Amino acid sequence: MNELSFSQKQTSQMQIANFQSGRCLKNLLDLINIDSPTKNIEGVFSVQKWVARELHNLGFTTQFFMSDQNDYAPLLVGHKVNGSAKTISLVMHADTVLSLQQYGHEGLQVEKGCLYGPGVIDNKGGIIIALEGLREFLIYNKPHFNIQVICVPNEEMGSEGYHHHLSILGKNSTLILGFEPALNNGDIISSRHG
């Protein structure tokens, strides 16, 4: 029994070490260092292009849609079509509330093993979780459903100019998974205003 516990502990430590030195952390740091508050169209679009590149590497096709008002970066939609009538959608967003400058002079900080900075949790961390989950899933599975990834450029502003697109994408989805963090009390978010 103790050997099993030790083995599980070792495995867990190895997974943490792999995360800290590996692709997930590097990708999260890359994303956080892109300054992308909602009104910084160039910064948000840089995040969107980064996500599109990662989706292409996973075999997705991507498409950008401009907003009705043209005041925001474009909406990114990725598709991996597997000839099914069912579609699972993963929803995330590229914008942050604060800029790196507004967050503080350091922007990104590590304190007691925790990473702090604009978008670490909301929602660049969610982007990394979704992409890494897709990557691992696709290594071991051939899905019998379509996968759609929706990366909204202005969720922090209620997704102005994209409601029509999002409504259509949502209606064509069998299941929608959001990658927003849980609320402070741990409740799961079950709907979105943006």
**Structural domains in the chain, sorted by start:** 2-178 (3.40.630.10)
- Locate tokens 């409601």: which residue? 163
- Coil, helix or strand for 77? strand
Per-residue pLDDT of 83-129, as tens digits, reads 888 999 999 999 998 887 777 656 677 788 788 888 888 899 999 99
- At 148, give phi and psi (nearest 5°): -125, 130
Beta strands in the chain (DSSP E): 61-65, 75-80, 87-93, 109-111, 114-116, 146-152, 175-178
Q: What is the mean pLDDT of the chain?
A: 85
Which pTM value belongs to this model? 0.84
Per-residue pLDDT of 152-170, as tens digits, reads 999 999 999 999 999 999 9
